[in-house]
Structure 1
């Protein structure tokens, strides 16, 4: 069982430096997040995640900013932060295990992510925003918000220093001007003018944040500029394939795979094309929660039920759990019907054979639809 300890939090609702069960911490964090959203305030809460029966070694440390709209509760906060980190295969497995532990006993209501399209929108006329793709709007809103907070911080610092240091004033004024220009570029992007954004990203490739890289890559992928994306991510084909797959753009993934094949793109394409045996034959694929779900389903469809149940522990997908239960039930029914049909045939009971055959067809239809 997991526990949480808050070490810094200016709110008496949660006691500092005391262990609390993870589920209780998630519930309390959801209440506090809603409270500070309504009050339009932000409060930092430093915390760390530990095993109940342990020496206190942290599995995860972080800061939950209550009222920031980043996450509705502590579980979603940690999950989102983990998914933002680029990981190797071992770290991917550890991440899946940690998420599974967090979800153990956690009510489904706290597992649902929320989408707030314009939480950090800075003085934009939302009615003018063109119909950009969802991932574009969400990413640019987030970046605009972050730049806005940075802008406020810079102005505050500038006001504090101008009376003492003219040099500092001039330097900060230049920084503010640069941030204002960047904000203007993002605003234009929200309004549908992506050319200026592409130029900005291209000129500042070496200094882009991870989030900016994702937006830049997304824009390049829209134009099928695969070589530029590969260069942007230093030939990390598996990571790019995962990024495309997460956007649900299977056609772009197939086009990318033709010129830049990887095990990750093969895996996702095999799943889409229902080539489950080929998918399971692939080794050393970077596993995400989504791919773990794909693998669970592929194992089920190829009749490897016990392996599917084992893989299910890595993703805890309730829908897949239900399908596995139904698959096992229907498999048993089909086996029993086959035996009954054989007995009826041996006894030359034609009407019974026909009735059982009809029943078997109905069960097989449900079985194949899983």
Structure 2
């Protein structure tokens, strides 16, 4: 599940460096947004969206009391929903927004990215504020990654270190906090399509200070800019990781360019798949087989009309969708063969039923189209 961590807040009601569920974050930011509009007050709050492993997957700044958003998720939706992106970015955006929306309380869900706060009463605000804060206090825990280390380090040194040591430690921790604040906004820039701004910001940070998630964002941006050598260097001179990401993006031209500079059996296999050269893909040796490549191989065998081999490739992984696809292919193929047989039998008759033959022929075409599109 996703969670929210506020890094910097101009309001004391939002505690920083504490991890909240999406549900609790929506409740408290809705309460504050409503209340602040009532009293004509505004406050900004920087936040991260964290995944299950506490990697930062999105960051932004929420403006409370501005009327721009109902709550923190509504803010993200309004930032992203109207932006035009390429197909891959759109898919990522939709997946991210759908994941967020699942965790929003039902009474705070929006359908078009816009909501009105008119009609909310002070009693409702006060009631919500009390219940949300009590729930939040029961459920919040310290977040992961460098932020939790900062908190824990500060706590330890406040009790065991000398004054001089504490002063030096605090300075170190402040540097770490500034580093995190420098990174704040990078993901929002990337998701909003400001690749140049995000790339410039990430390139100014020491690579050793980047988390794995930040490195992935950085590498993705470098690939988009066709800076393949720098992307490979970022991955410790392991081109396999870069090639795999390019393949996942589905950019055939980029994959072809990368294969020319960093040739490998993996790249040849992936490129043949994307170019639908099924025989070339199957003949490629020395390929590092992953779950994804077993899936690609099974699909290639279907395209070669080799159901048995497709099943053997699929047996290496647990993929219900793939198994269903093979099952559908096998069933449809039998239906095509049966329809062909009926057409042949009808054509052998002395008195042919032309209407029946026509109907069966059209049915066969539809079945073959299904096979083609699997």
Q: TM-score w.r.t. structure 1 length?
A: 0.57
Query: How do 1:69-84 and structure 2 match up within 5 A?
Result: 70-71=51-52
Q: Please tell me the root mean square deviation across aligned C-alpha atoms, in Å.
A: 4.0
Partner of 2:158: 159
Partner of 1:197: 201
Partner of 1:362: 366
Q: CA deviation at 1:154?
A: 2.5
Q: 1:124 to 1:195 in 2, by over 3 A?
A: farther
Partner of 1:26: none
CA–CA distance in structure 2, aligned partners of residues 38 and 299 of structure 1 = 45
Q: 1:354 to 1:277 in 2, by over 3 A?
A: same
Partner of 2:15: none
Show CA shifts across 1:85-108 (max 9, x none).
Answer: xxxxxxxxxxxxxxxxxxxxxxxx
Q: CA deviation at 1:256?
A: 2.6
Partner of 1:285: 287
Q: TM-score w.r.t. structure 2 length?
A: 0.56
> Structure 2 regions of 5+ residues with no counterpart?
1-19, 26-48, 64-71, 97-142, 190-196
Contact 1:237/1:261, CA 8 A, preserved across alignment: no
Show CA shifts across 1:258-297 (max 9, x none).
Answer: 4333333333333333222222222232233222222221
Partner of 1:342: 344
Contact 2:269/2:281, CA 8 A, preserved across alignment: yes
Query: How do 1:1-370 and structure 2 match up within 5 A?
Result: 70-71=51-52, 146-161=145-160, 164-190=161-187, 192=189, 193-194=197-198, 197-201=201-205, 204-205=206-207, 208-350=210-352, 351=354, 353-370=357-374
Contact 1:295/1:311, CA 8 A, preserved across alignment: yes
Q: CA deviation at 1:160?
A: 2.0
CA–CA distance in structure 2, aligned partners of residues 286 and 151 of structure 1 = 40
Contact 1:151/1:176, CA 8 A, preserved across alignment: yes
Q: 1:222 to 1:153 in 2, by over 3 A?
A: farther
Q: Which has the higher contact order (CA 8 A, sep 6+)?
A: 2
Show CA shifts across 1:300-352 (max 9, x none).
Answer: 22122122122223333222222222211222222233334334444455425
Show CA shifts across 1:51-101 (max 9, x none).
Answer: xxxxxxxxxxxxxxxxx9754xxxxx8xxx9xx9xxxxxxxxxxxxxxxxx
Q: 1:206 to 1:175 in 2, by over 3 A?
A: same
Larger radius of gyration: 2
> Structure 1 regions of 5+ residues with no counterpart?
1-34, 41-67, 72-76, 85-115, 139-143
Contact 2:343/2:360, CA 8 A, preserved across alignment: yes
Show CA shifts across 1:216-266 (max 9, x none).
Answer: 322322322111112223442222111233345555434433433333333
Contact 1:244/1:252, CA 8 A, preserved across alignment: yes
Contact 1:299/1:307, CA 8 A, preserved across alignment: yes
Q: 1:179 to 1:122 in 2, by over 3 A?
A: farther
Q: CA deviation at 1:299?
A: 1.4
